[in-house]
Amino acid sequence: MDLRHLRYFIAVAEEQNIGRAATRLHISQPPLTRQIQQLEEELGVRLLNRTPRGVELTQAGALFLDEARNIRAVVEQATERTQRAGQGKLGRLDVGIFGTAILDAIPKLLLAFRRSYPEVKIVLHTMNKGEQIEALRQRRITVGFNRMLAPLPDITTRLVANERLLLAMSHTSPLAAQESVPFPALRDHPLVLFPTGARPNFIDKVMTLCHEAGFEPLVSQEVSDAITGVALAAGGFGVCLVPESTTSLALPGVIYKPLTGLPDHAQVDLSCIYRSDDQSPILEAFLGTIEQMRSTLQSGAALTE
């Protein structure tokens, strides 16, 4: 049996007349007669009673007509859904994010994407840099978000946002009186550094900046993540360099100050990563959304709302 048989049978049943149905189907009458006979033979069921002025459905034929219309509808819906999936409008997007950096830019981006593609289910997975790479390769996620990524041949990196560095400290810190802090002034202050994850990491970056400014930092403590770092800074362990978006973390007793005298490359990136050979339309759609959000997500803008 074939969808053609169903289409033909529906026409015949609706016209109650094989000749008219043939006209409607843009074929001639004899092949239609044969197709219907074939259908009946294959089912082993008499679907039509032939009369001198047309045909009429048997009881089985009437039931089959219902079934045929239902099948037609199911097929149409399947086609339509598949096409939407093929256009990236329907499906699922697994996103790898890392704990504390998922502030500001990423929610904005995901919200914009969800507005444009409401039928794509976004599934978030919290994982660190190495886990994201691994998950991308195993197709467990389609995109990841991270900072300071070393280039890899099979993973494409795309900058989403750049953020300035700020200094987090306790409100009792001697630096708290100033409106802004010149970077070289940090030479005399113990630093809380994070994260202690896979290299290259933010600690490496801070160390490099200090060396470029001509001093060896006083390392008070190295911790695993931003929350811990800011918490220790608030507790007076030292000052802590953080990306601007971290200011969303309003821990009690902590204040943030801008830094002066930093080079341009002192900004810290937030990047999106995905498999270089991934051609899925949902990824295309997501990258398109990033492109549209480009200006909104760049440095500074991240704090405007």
Partner DNA sequence: GATGATCATACTTTAAAGGTATTAATCGGT
Partner DNA sequence: ACCGATTAATACCTTTAAAGTATGATCATC
Q: What is the binding site for DNA (CB under 7 A)?
A: 2, 4, 17-20, 26-38, 50-55
Q: Distance between CA atoms of 173 and 156, rounded to whole angstroms?
A: 42
Measure Cα distances from 155 to 48, 117, 129, 182 in Å.
Answer: 62, 25, 12, 37
Q: Write out the binding residues for a copy of itself, residues 263-302 only, by CB under 8 A.
A: 279-282
Considering only the C-alpha atoms of the chain, give the largest distance between any 2 of them, rounded to a whole number of Å: 107
Q: Distance between CA atoms of 294 and 288, rounded to whole angstroms?
A: 10
Q: Nearest Cα to 139, choosing from 159, 155, 118?
A: 155
* Residue 5 CB, nearest approach to DNA (Å): 8
Strands (E), the chain: 48-51, 54-57, 91-97, 120-126, 143-146, 155-163, 165-170, 181-182, 190-193, 218-222, 240-243, 254-260, 268-275
* Residue 19 CB, nearest approach to DNA (Å): 4
- By a kind-dependent CB cut-off of 5 to 8 A, residue 28 interacts, out of a copy of itself, DNA, none, with DNA
* Residue 280 CB, nearest approach to a copy of itself (Å): 6
Which CB sits closer to a copy of itself, 90 or 233? 90
Contact in structure between 115 and 151 (CB atoms under 8 Å): no
Which CB sits closer to a copy of itself, 59 or 295? 59
Other CB atoms within 10 A of residue 78 CB: 10
The binder of a copy of itself chosen from 27, 57, 71, 227 (CB under 8 A):
71
Q: Distance between CA atoms of 103 and 302, rounded to whole angstroms?
A: 9
Which CB sits closer to a copy of itself, 47 or 169? 47
x/- mask, a copy of itself, residues 92-131, rule CB under 8 A, reads: x---------------------------------------
The binder of a copy of itself chosen from 64, 113, 145, 274 (CB under 8 A):
64
Which CB sits closer to DNA, 42 or 119? 42
* Residue 200 CB, nearest approach to a copy of itself (Å): 32
Q: Nearest Cα to 145, choosing from 293, 271, 283?
A: 271
Q: Which residues contact a copy of itself by CB under 8 A?
A: 1-4, 43-47, 49, 58-60, 63-64, 67-68, 70-71, 74-75, 77-79, 81-83, 85-86, 90-92, 279-282
